[in-house]
Amino acid sequence: MSSATDSRAGTRRAVVGAIAAAGLASAALLSAQGQLALPGLDSLELLARFFSHALRPALDYGSPFVPVGAPPLLLQVATATWRTVQLAVAAMSLAVPVALLLGFAGASAWWRLPGPGGRAVLRRLGPLVYAPARVVMTLARSVHELLWALLFLAAVGLSDTAAVLAIAIPYAGTLGKVFSEMIDEAPRDAAVQLTGSGATAAQAFSVALLPRALPDMAAYSFYRFECALRSAAVLGFFGPETLGKFIRLAWNESLYAELWTYLYALFALIAVSDMASRALRQRFLGETPAR
């Protein structure tokens, strides 16, 4: 036991040492090529001014050049937050149904269930559906939502539709892949018993297999919704009036107090989403709160 423990400790030390050596070698190489730029005094001063406003977020505009008729700052923050939520909800409303279809088609459990009769047809058709679904999911999630946003903005112009599609497509691919794996990894004992009793594959899948995977699928969907909120905020840098747009404008104008106001709104939005998803999981999925 002692020798095994010593061997594992030695392996960990060797891995840490190799990582440290690789980091030092990379730093030396970048320094030799003149590409390792340490922050100068101007950068440090900028960071200091930025973080100095963290405890003093703005409650009103700090710029004297406020357009006539502009809403109060806090109302604008609330509006941008609501727009962020709207884009995230719209994107997930498209992504989840598509992901359910892709997840079902990309799972092998529904056509590999044992049993006589029509199972032979399923076993022939299953791979023909499975492979294209996996390819579609891979292609959809291989391109980041920012690249999808650039593509749709060039194709249809600046619009909320472009932002929604830019989030929905990669999220559908990611959700579909995870859904298919959760379905395949769900225990099949009850489904096998049903098929052994004469139930069809569809009956066994819908009654004994899918319900076991559904809680994990729902929990992961809640997590992806939090990610969609962040993505919707980031896409504001491209024009949609989410929190990201006003964060970018405040940064460009060096209005750090206003910038922190928008950042705190984003922090609060993610925190509220996390608490809401936890409450929904406890209410509908029977999860017990952590103690």
**Does residue 95 contact residue 177 with C-beta atoms inside 8 Å?**
no
- Give one DSSP letter per residue of 14-51, joined into a string: HHHHHHHHHHHHHHHHHHHTT------HHHHHHHHHHH
* pLDDT tens per residue across span 245-267: 999 999 988 888 999 999 999 99
**Does residue 214 contact residue 223 with C-beta atoms inside 8 Å?**
no
pLDDT for 4: 59
Q: What parts of the chain have a pLDDT lower than 70? A: 1-7, 9, 27-42, 113-123, 201, 284-291
Which fold is adopted by the domain 73-284? Answer: MetI-like fold (1.10.3720)
Q: Which amino acid is at 74?
A: L
User: What is the DSSP secondary structure assignment for residue 207, as one 8-state letter?
Assistant: I
pTM: 0.79
* pLDDT tens per residue across span 86-125: 999 999 999 999 999 999 888 887 777 665 544 555 667 7
pLDDT for 123: 65
pLDDT for 121: 54
SS3 254: coil
pLDDT for 62: 78
Q: What's the rounded Cα separation, in Å, for the pair 225 and 231?
A: 10
Q: What's the rounded Cα separation, in Å, for the pair 70 and 246?
A: 13
